[in-house]
Amino acid sequence: MRRGVAAAIAIVAAVGIVLIYRHFDPTFSHFAPKCPFHLLTGYDCPSCGIQRAMYAALNGDLKRAFWLNPFVALVMPYFLLIVLTTFAKGKHIENLRSIVQHRYAVYGYIALFFIWWVVRNTTWWQGVLSQYL
């Protein structure tokens, strides 16, 4: 019963977030949270651009959504597999869990996270980004 309630709350929250980001551009919204790391340092964190990317994707601008934070598009399948293998049950899920949640897979994700953090703050990346946005 509790799992069902948690799932219902998660679905309602997700729908609410989609509706908010469908109609309010976080670039110009005062209620959209701002990145504390960016505010303090002037550098982008690995997740900077996710809110703007969601707004762009929900309004049909998939190219802009991708280039606002391509790391999210690349790791989203892994994140969804983590969620699936954490909450689903079954023999095939157990086999998949042993691969997806293996420590080397997690270490690889963490390494990519920090590599992306460095790359997105280079002048090279800013040049690439300026071509697409």
Amino acid letter for position 110? I
The CA distance from 23 to 129, in Å, is 25
Structure tokens at 64: 């802009």
Contact between 69 and 48 (Cβ < 8 Å): yes
Q: pTM for this one?
A: 0.73
The CA distance from 58 to 26, in Å, is 12
pLDDT, position 108: 93
Structurally, how many domains does the chain consist of?
1
pLDDT per residue as tens digits for the range 59-106: 999 999 899 989 988 888 888 888 888 888 888 888 888 898 899 998
**In this model, does residue 6 exceed pLDDT 90?**
no
Which residue range(s) make up the domain with 83? 2-132
Contacts of 72 (CB under 8 A, 6+ apart): 47, 49, 50, 53
